[in-house]
Structure 1
């Protein structure tokens, strides 16, 4: 009986030993890309429904532009990883386009269609720091890029959550480049607000962007957003040198 029990125990142990390797699977390797690009889109209350639609249409149009695909194809790997989320209050960030690969026109069209189909929502405050913190959490999920870039687009200064300087420094310490797309809304502000609010392009230049080769694209009104976002993404993909601040007009 003892032999039988030991034998059964031995067989069980042997079976467990044989089964164990099958249960251990290596961690999935991340797919290499030239750039991991996180697009963070402002949907605070200062962005009305028409302006929000201009933003989404601008991003979708950018990914349908052959010039962008041409720029991607010239990279060492010839592909980028892209994700897009919207942001507002310090605790409101919603991923609308999960990580997707773009290496050709068909893949770029899938991204554009995902943006077309994404829901449009509007919230209240403007937390650039919250957007930065959320953006930093997106890397390392699907791709391994030679560069990691966060792209913040918005039309207002930080008014919710912790200071922008802290959130930006966290990204810079992690080796992430922060670029900006500031949309200059031509609607006059109340005098009391204008007196304490810095010009948005200067604010983004001084407080938001950072890292090697970082830059700010300024859209002169939402009507020029589509032009601005195309130029900005092409430059980000190509890592092309250029001015610290570029301006786009409708």
Structure 2
């Protein structure tokens, strides 16, 4: 606190202990008021990127796909995987995409760390409204839009969460045009360079083999040591639920393991103590 040196004001402006305490309280309150809200720490942030282009993905199959997501996140296996991480929680969002200008948030960022939160997310997923689009799906533009959703970890504005691992899971029944290969590959490379750690894909439906080849060559990727990105095929029938559940659980387990491995070892933390104590000692003098 500033004090005046002019002797004329010495008796008036020297604060008493009570006055100093009050002023300090006001300063602390003002700091708290103007400080930005701290982002919530989670193990990983996951964007479920869903291709909604018709007629490749019919309304019936779109509903079936969303139900498989909902069932996956409310399973005990998924919750066990989530809670095995360093913080025991993740943040998830759903984005729907079609052509170059069609990227819509289906479910905004939500934290999942317990059964109630998982059920809340699942209910929202089951009730996602599907926009209408008939344009050729553009996975490159979708990857660029999804990358921005992670916020500070990928160079954007905060999304309310901070995590060790950022993951994109793409699900598509649409065959991208071969002319999109280069731009899609560039978008994937830019996403990984910007901070996305893992991009997986699931190729759905009748043309899943061709889709899988395109996504393997141009979309999937990983920067996590020892972890390979995957592109798998899944039929749009009764087995979809189990296949998607297994793929998503494996993805979440990967994020949890990476989050744990990123936490400093106890010995490393102990090594920091002498330096910290030295700084505190200097600050007191």
Measured against the shorter chain, the TM-score band is 0.7 to 0.9
Question: What CA distance in whole angstroms lies between the structure 2 residues aligned with 1:128 and 1:226?
Answer: 23
SS in 1 for 2:162: strand
How much has 1:186 moved relative to structure 2?
5.4
Deviations 1:72-129 (A, max 9, x none): 1111110000000111011011101100000010000000010112113331221101
How much has 1:215 moved relative to structure 2?
2.5
SS in 1 for 2:34: coil
Cα pair 2:215 2:231 within 8 Å, conserved: no
Alignment match of 2:50 (pick from 41, 54, 70)? 41
Deviations 1:34-85 (A, max 9, x none): 1100110110011111111111111111111111001111111100000001
Question: What CA distance in whole angstroms lies between the structure 2 residues aligned with 1:164 and 1:30?
Answer: 31
Question: What CA distance in whole angstroms lies between the structure 2 residues aligned with 1:64 and 1:37?
Answer: 16
* 1:235 counterpart residue number: 250
Alignment match of 2:86 (pick from 71, 76, 81)? 76
Q: CA RMSD in A?
A: 2.3
Question: What CA distance in whole angstroms lies between the structure 2 residues aligned with 1:43 and 1:130?
Answer: 14
SS in 2 for 1:137: helix
Deviations 1:141-192 (A, max 9, x none): 02111100011110233349781011111111012121111114259xxxxx
How much has 1:216 moved relative to structure 2?
2.3
SS in 1 for 2:57: coil
Question: What CA distance in whole angstroms lies between the structure 2 residues aligned with 1:220 and 1:96?
Answer: 22
Alignment match of 1:170 (pick from 165, 190, 203)? 190
Cα pair 1:218 1:228 within 8 Å, conserved: no
Question: What CA distance in whole angstroms lies between the structure 2 residues aligned with 1:220 and 1:233?
Answer: 13
Count of residues paired in the alignment = 212
How much has 1:217 moved relative to structure 2?
4.5
Which of 169-178 and 209-218 deviates more? 209-218
Structure in which a larger fraction of residues adopt helix: 2
Question: What CA distance in whole angstroms lies between the structure 2 residues aligned with 1:184 and 1:118?
Answer: 21
TM-score using structure 2 length: 0.69
* 2:258 counterpart residue number: none
Which of 120-129 and 66-75 deviates more? 120-129
List alignment gaps of at least 5 residues for structure 1. Answer: 1-17, 188-197, 241-250
Cα pair 2:216 2:231 within 8 Å, conserved: no
* 2:214 counterpart residue number: 203
Cα pair 2:44 2:163 within 8 Å, conserved: yes
* 1:154 counterpart residue number: 172
How has the CA–CA distance of structure 1 residues 171 and 106 changed in structure 2, closer, same or farther, with 3 Å as cutoff? same
Give the 5 Å matches for 1:6-17: none
List alignment gaps of at least 5 residues for structure 2. Answer: 1-25, 152-158, 256-285
* 1:87 counterpart residue number: 97
TM-score using structure 1 length: 0.78
SS in 2 for 1:76: coil
Q: Does 1:97 align with 2:107?
A: yes
